[in-house]
Structure 1
Amino acid sequence: MPDPKRVRFGELGRWDLSMTELNFPGARRSDMYVETDERPEPAGVATKAFEEPADPFVEREEVRAAAPVQAPKKNADDEDTEPIEPAKSGLNGFLNRLFRGLFRFAPSAKELDARELKASQGRFEDLIRQSTWTRAVGVAVANKKGTAGKTPLSILLGGVLAAIRGGSVAILETSDDKGQLAYRAEGDPQLGMGELVANVSNVRTQSQLRGYTVTQTSFASVIGSTPQWRPPLTRENVLDVASIVDEHFTIRVMDTGNQYSSGPFGAVVEVSDVLVIPTMLAQDAVSEALELLEFLEHQGRDAARLARTAIVVMMSDGRPEFKPSRLKKQFMDKGIAEDHIYAVPYDTHVAERGALTLSKLAPATRQALTAIAAGVVAQTNQNAFAKDRNR
């Protein structure tokens, strides 16, 4: 199949990733959910894809020049190689059906890529669905920069996890002041984070807790804020809400604020197992993300582990964009593993800045998010085990 690290750029500086070119990190195997400190060897990168021009911005000429990597041909003499099924689509597939198996025309490169994509997506979904823990786990979505994509990624990542696992995923607004989580989610909450904080001591059952949530078509449960003003959250508020949510949900995705030194953010770090850093392809967003990593490293212990194992998601909103390869290098220089850096293609539905629904995403976007979710789960398996062992 094509090199998974190869990137093509679409028109107007947008990402245009086919799923055969996505970065599929440690979730390449469906058995990666085994609790172990070992990580798979990252796949090699096609160096030509990341050659730097003098201008750090994507140019239209570069868009035309980018070409997909061809899938490696299988060696027919290799005794371990499984026979390739005859073509089922395209002209060759038509001929196979026409001659009813008399001839066995081989599949095209496009059909082989589609088969590999389907197989890899199946492995990702198996990993996400089959991973289990002896407690609830937390995923922090953070970047100090506003408009870096924290809220949409929280909803989409939590939605993919819930859709594959059949629910039991809560997406929480944990910003100091009221955020946009409820606005970007489906539905209109009658009760939300402010009301839950005020009544958390009286919430004991799942039915009571769900009264403060809005269920998405993905089966994720969002706890955002109602249109009314709410008091700023405190560290204790976040810890209390996380505690009651963990009694009734398996995965907790937390959409954070922009102030690292605040009590709520400190609480999120304390109850998180994996850090996901969204960033637009802009230097200011990347610089703020790098500052977050440095901040967490100085906290030591669990916070430092979050920084060392962070997963970076580069997103596109259609605006002029910086060279992703140069931004990627900055994260790698900071210690982020190359196979922990992902890309999500431009998607009109996300760029509309309205309520997000998984079914309205482009197929490539959904596939990219599935790969990211698998990477998050694989890293959660490792970090949760290490965190519990140290305690």
Structure 2
Amino acid sequence: MTEVNFPGARRSGMYVETEERPKPAPAVSEAFEEPADPFVEPADAGDAQVVQEVRAGTALAAPAKAPDPVPAPESEADEEEPPVPAREGFRGFLNRVSGGLLKLGPSRAEADARLLNVDQGRFEALIRQSSWTRAVGLLVANKKGTAGKTPLSILLGGVLAAIRGGSVAILETSDDKGQLAYRAEGDPQLGMGELVANIAGVRTQSQLRGYTVTQTSFASVIGSTPEWRPPLTRQNVLDVASIVDEHFTIRVMDTGNQYSSGPFGAAVDVADVLVIPTMLAQDAVSEALELLEFLEHQGPDAARLARTAIVVMMSDGRPEFKPSKLKKQFTDKGIAEDHIYAVPYDAHVAERGALTLAKLAPETRQALTAIAAGVVAQTNQNVFAKDQNR
């Protein structure tokens, strides 16, 4: 099993205005080459020196070793404030037991965790504060089955809803009944098939919510009941998207595997951003590249989706290709490097059951938040460009 980092985990200065997408830290460009867990740091070598200094009575005079060398400031005005003393680990323990006499700096692990928390706060602010004058659509697509479309639709929509306080609908737009309801929480009494059949009489939010299942993330899922439903048509998807857009701010569409079908074409037409999940396998990546090629020939709006696509590399524990080689295929196709993310292996996702945000590993939740921020930043740009052209 290959563990991978994800771009965006240690970003700083993520954005100035909401139209700018989060920028990855310089070190992240090598994350796919050297897989490592960014959240597990080895014991700080400086801690042993701290012990010796305390025993020798010199720790008060000698500051803790900085995690990285910092250039000397050009002037006092540019001098950075000293770091907040350590609160965690052995250094934090010494600071506490000394009653404030010791002010040892944080270890590398604690310093990195603080930076990560700052980045997560910025990601969440971008997601929460972005707004549009209409509903926006996110298209989750990859022709390859088991590429992670349904799990990513639920998790991405869930993170967006949890941070924004709801108003996110996750729709099944596949021709035939898919697995969206199965991977979501709850058992739907009514779903996509019933909504399509009764859509002429659905006018209010209360009526529409009768066909949804609300998640603990506050996202609303419209999947299919265990009963058979007729295949969706292009008009079915357009009608459902229209009524959903009247009552929800963000629409996440879990698509099928047939690009030439009417439902898929309709989902493309009402999408603002394309999100491509892929497992770390050549067949899944090849199908994703085929999707980009297909969209480039479907008109200017579809071509924009291809040019600005967000790629999410996922891991399910099966044998995997080297991520850097797969990543290069996307960059060769024109996908910007900072549009390629990775989600680490998560046992809860790999169980292939109902997905709940609270059951995800912290690293997975952090990765998804970074991805959601990147998607929202790209949505801000694409919505403006698309609406201006119209």
Q: Normalising by the residue count of structure 1, what TM-score does the alignment of the two structures yield?
A: 0.87
> Structure 1: which 5+ residue stretches go unaligned?
1-12, 53-61
Is residue 14–residue 21 contact of structure 2 (8 Å, CA) maintained in 1?
no
Structure 1 equivalent of residue 26 of structure 2: 44
Structure 2 equivalent of residue 87 of structure 1: 86
Query: Deviations for 1:216-265, whole angstroms, at most 9, x for unmatched residues?
Result: 00000000000011111111100000000000000000000000011111
Is residue 9–residue 366 contact of structure 2 (8 Å, CA) maintained in 1?
no
- Aligned-pair CA distance for 1:91: 1.3
Structure 2 equivalent of residue 239 of structure 1: 238
Is residue 7–residue 28 contact of structure 2 (8 Å, CA) maintained in 1?
no
Q: Which amino acid in structure 2 is aligned with residue 216 of structure 1?
A: Q
Is residue 344–residue 364 contact of structure 2 (8 Å, CA) maintained in 1?
yes
**Cα distance 1:388–1:348, how it changes in 2: closer, same or farther (>3 A)?**
same
Structure 1 equivalent of residue 351 of structure 2: 352
Give RMSD over aligned pairs: 2.4
- Aligned-pair CA distance for 1:187: 0.3
CA separation in 1, counterparts of 2:290 and 2:27? 27
Q: Which amino acid in structure 1 is aligned with residue 26 of structure 2?
A: G
Residues 84-163 of structure 1 aligned to structure 2 (within 5 Å): 84-163=83-162
Is residue 10–residue 119 contact of structure 2 (8 Å, CA) maintained in 1?
no
Structure 2 equivalent of residue 34 of structure 1: 18
Q: Which amino acid in structure 2 is aligned with residue 269 of structure 1?
A: V
Q: Which amino acid in structure 2 is aligned with residue 143 of structure 1?
A: N
Q: Which amino acid in structure 1 is aligned with residue 276 of structure 2?
A: I
Structure 1 equivalent of residue 64 of structure 2: none
Q: State whether structure 2 residue 12 is matched by structure 1 residue 24.
A: no
CA separation in 2, counterparts of 1:100 and 1:25? 34
**Cα distance 1:379–1:31, how it changes in 2: closer, same or farther (>3 A)?**
same
CA separation in 2, counterparts of 1:100 and 1:68? 27
SS of match in other structure, 1:24: coil
Q: Percent identical across equivalent pairs?
A: 78
CA separation in 2, counterparts of 1:243 and 1:196? 12
- Aligned-pair CA distance for 1:96: 1.2
Q: Which amino acid in structure 1 is aligned with residue 190 of structure 2?
A: L
CA separation in 2, counterparts of 1:30 and 1:51? 23
**Cα distance 1:237–1:26, how it changes in 2: closer, same or farther (>3 A)?**
farther
- Aligned-pair CA distance for 1:83: 2.2
Q: Which amino acid in structure 2 is aligned with residue 198 of structure 1?
A: A
Q: Is the radius of gyration larger for structure 1 or structure 2?
A: 2
CA separation in 1, counterparts of 2:142 and 2:225? 23
SS of match in other structure, 1:132: coil
CA separation in 1, counterparts of 2:36 and 2:366? 22
**Cα distance 1:39–1:288, how it changes in 2: closer, same or farther (>3 A)?**
same
CA separation in 2, counterparts of 1:68 and 1:93? 16
Structure 2 equivalent of residue 14 of structure 1: 2
**Cα distance 1:314–1:127, how it changes in 2: closer, same or farther (>3 A)?**
same
Structure 1 equivalent of residue 170 of structure 2: 171
Structure 2 equivalent of residue 256 of structure 1: 255
- Aligned-pair CA distance for 1:376: 0.4
**Cα distance 1:246–1:51, how it changes in 2: closer, same or farther (>3 A)?**
closer
CA separation in 1, counterparts of 2:279 and 2:220? 26
Residues 268-307 of structure 1 aligned to structure 2 (within 5 Å): 268-307=267-306
**Cα distance 1:111–1:63, how it changes in 2: closer, same or farther (>3 A)?**
closer
Q: Which amino acid in structure 1 is aligned with residue 220 of structure 2?
A: S
Q: Which amino acid in structure 2 is aligned with residue 188 of structure 1?
A: D
Aligned length: 362
Q: Which amino acid in structure 2 is aligned with residue 231 of structure 1?
A: P
Is residue 168–residue 251 contact of structure 2 (8 Å, CA) maintained in 1?
yes
**Cα distance 1:267–1:278, how it changes in 2: closer, same or farther (>3 A)?**
same
With 324-333 and 86-95 compared, the bigger mean Cα shift is at: 86-95
Query: Deviations for 1:269-325, whole angstroms, at most 9, x for unmatched residues?
Result: 111110000000000000000000000011131100000000000000100001100
Q: State whether structure 2 residue 372 is matched by structure 1 residue 384.
A: no
Q: Which amino acid in structure 2 is aligned with residue 230 of structure 1?
A: R
Structure 1 equivalent of residue 57 of structure 2: none
Residues 63-74 of structure 1 aligned to structure 2 (within 5 Å): 72-74=68-70
CA separation in 1, counterparts of 2:299 and 2:210? 37
Query: Deviations for 1:82-138, whole angstroms, at most 9, x for unmatched residues?
Result: 321111111111111122222211110011011011111111111111111000000
**Cα distance 1:23–1:134, how it changes in 2: closer, same or farther (>3 A)?**
same
**Cα distance 1:77–1:101, how it changes in 2: closer, same or farther (>3 A)?**
farther
CA separation in 1, counterparts of 2:30 and 2:171? 41
Structure 2 equivalent of residue 4 of structure 1: none
- Aligned-pair CA distance for 1:45: 4.9
Q: Normalising by the residue count of structure 2, what TM-score does the alignment of the two structures yield?
A: 0.87
SS of match in other structure, 2:26: coil
- Aligned-pair CA distance for 1:34: 3.1
CA separation in 2, counterparts of 1:351 and 1:155? 14
Is residue 26–residue 39 contact of structure 1 (8 Å, CA) maintained in 2?
no
**Cα distance 1:213–1:109, how it changes in 2: closer, same or farther (>3 A)?**
same
CA separation in 1, counterparts of 2:171 and 2:292? 22
Is residue 26–residue 378 contact of structure 1 (8 Å, CA) maintained in 2?
no
- Aligned-pair CA distance for 1:42: 5.3
CA separation in 2, counterparts of 1:27 and 1:376? 15
Q: Which amino acid in structure 1 is aligned with residue 164 of structure 2?
A: R
**Cα distance 1:117–1:388, how it changes in 2: closer, same or farther (>3 A)?**
same
Structure 1 equivalent of residue 334 of structure 2: 335
**Cα distance 1:355–1:32, how it changes in 2: closer, same or farther (>3 A)?**
farther
Q: Which amino acid in structure 1 is aligned with residue 361 of structure 2?
A: A
CA separation in 2, counterparts of 1:89 and 1:68? 13
With 259-268 and 93-102 compared, the bigger mean Cα shift is at: 93-102
